Amino acid sequence: MIKKLVKYKVKKGSEEIVVQSIQRLLNAILINEPGTKYEAFKSGDEREFIHIINFSDHQAELRHKEAEYTREFVEEIYLYCEITPQFVDLYSIKT
């Protein structure tokens, strides 16, 4: 399992546009990536967004990155970013 965290902040006044873009992305993922778990959140700062993504393997991650709906989402989001997306790989702590 591959886990990613993505965090970014958008310009004031663009929050609703970004939420709509996220909703389109989530719908496309539900239809096209049944093995991918993708969650999107707003933080306490209404302009900060956090996404947590779980891919089943590297192939699933690659398919996601190359998908047209992902490219469209990224192109749109970058137009509205005050702080561009920061990607973090997450690793489980085992007991």
**Residues 48, 61: Cα–Cα separation, whole Å:** 24
* pTM, two decimal places: 0.92
Q: What is the pLDDT of residue 94?
A: 85
Q: What is the pLDDT of residue 7?
A: 98
Q: What is the pLDDT of residue 95?
A: 76
Q: What is the pLDDT of residues 38-64, one digit of tens each?
A: 999 999 999 999 999 999 999 999 999
Helical residues (DSSP H) of 1-95, grouped into ranges: 15-32, 58-66, 68-80
Nearest Cα residue to 33 out of 67, 76, 73: 67
Q: Where are the domains of the chain?
A: 2-90
Divide the 95 residues of the chain into consecutive groups of 10 and give the mean pLDDT of each group: 97 96 98 96 95 97 97 96 96 88
Element at 87 (helix H, strand E): strand 81-90
Chain position carrying tokens 């398919």:
63
Nearest Cα residue to 21 out of 66, 71, 89: 71
Q: Which fold has domain 2-90?
A: Alpha-Beta Plaits (3.30.70)
